[in-house]
Amino acid sequence: MKLGLTLPTIGVGTSTAAITEVAQEAERIGLDSVWTSERLLNPVDGAFGIGATEPTPLPDGYRSVYDPLETLAYVAARTSTIALGTSVLDLLLHSPVVLGRRLVTLDQLSGGRLLAGVGVGWMAAEFEAVGVPTERRGARLEEYIAVLRALWGPDPVAHDGAFYTIAPSWYGPKPVVPGGVAVLAGAMAPAAIERAGRLGLGLNPIMMTWEMFEGSVSTFRDAAAKAGHDPASLPIVVRVNGEVTAAPLDDRQPLTGSVEQVLDDLARVARSGVDHVFWSAGEDVDRQLEVMAELRRSI
């Protein structure tokens, strides 16, 4: 079982020193991955989802957020083996020809350690700020993936679609592994999960309940198989928005609680054919690293 942890990239109290220390300690204790996330804005008047009439509360920490890819490039230079993940990049807020090169550059600089968790985005203010329309997001995302695959494929590359146009061009460097950077869809809605499987992407679900998790895995693999992909070849990395704790918890979500409780849950995850899980570092990162080291030793 592969285990990972988020890096402390959110909040006014974090620092490059803290990010480096957590990444290096995570690698030293045998964790398999560290993760960053993306948030462009924390609107003063509230974060309205697309089409929403009421704002979604955001943590105060989102007032200061390190860029995920620059952070991982920095971490890549200070580590050797640990995988570097995003959970998630909102693809539609970026130009594919620009982001495609940023991703493959990080992949090259890290020796192929990048796991690119991606999403479609949800905050209206962020779409407005970057000048991208909110309509037809699903269709735009599908074409975006096609553009990335073209950019990472043989030269010359070209694309002429409904949303993006690229003149025949030489475009390098290419990813370390032929076929491209590992792309995981941060999907929760059934339609988005089905789309991820149909496109042959990986999956990066958030663990909420066992019913949702196991249903998502089944939907994803069924869609992949129907589209002609080998479901076993598509990675699934589970995100836990909670922590492993020093003491057992009576009221807990799956994959949270003590090492013993989490070990039982990981066995159930493994029975679903999933072998990679990562957790939030929480407020006491040093303590979380200690508990994660115990979990790593216990597997």
Percent of the chain residues topping a pLDDT of 90: 98
pLDDT, position 180 = 86
In the chain, where the domains are located: 2-298
Contact 22, 285 (CB under 8 A): yes
Query: In degrees rounded to 5, what are phi and psi of residue 269?
Result: -60, -45
Instruction: Give the tokens for residue 36.
Output: 């960053």
Residue 151 CB neighbour total at 10 angstroms: 25
- pLDDT 10s digits, 6-16: 999 999 889 99
The CA distances from residue 262 to 28, 169, 211, 235, 265, in Å, are 21, 49, 17, 21, 5
Query: In degrees rounded to 5, what are phi and psi of residue 200?
Result: 75, 30
CATH architecture of 2-298: Alpha-Beta Barrel (3.20)
DSSP letter string, 214-267: HHHHHHHHHHHHHTT--GGGS-B-EEESS-B-SS--SS--TT-BSHHHHHHHHH
Separation CA 18–CA 5 (nearest Å): 14
Percent of the chain residues topping a pLDDT of 70: 100
In which band, very low, low, confident or very high, does the pLDDT at 259 lie, cut at 50, 70 and 90?
A: very high
pLDDT, position 179 = 80
Query: If DSSP codes are grouped into helix, strand and coil, which group holds residue 56?
Result: strand
Does position 29 have pLDDT exceeding 90, yes or no?
Answer: yes
Would you say the C-alpha torsion 31, 32, 34, 38 has a positive or negative sign? Answer: negative
In which band, very low, low, confident or very high, does the pLDDT at 19 lie, cut at 50, 70 and 90?
A: very high
Separation CA 285–CA 56 (nearest Å): 26
Separation CA 70–CA 19 (nearest Å): 12
Does position 221 have pLDDT exceeding 90, yes or no?
Answer: yes
Does position 196 have pLDDT exceeding 90, yes or no?
Answer: yes
In which band, very low, low, confident or very high, does the pLDDT at 260 lie, cut at 50, 70 and 90?
A: very high
Does position 85 have pLDDT exceeding 90, yes or no?
Answer: yes
- pLDDT 10s digits, 149-182: 999 999 999 999 999 999 999 999 999 998 889 9
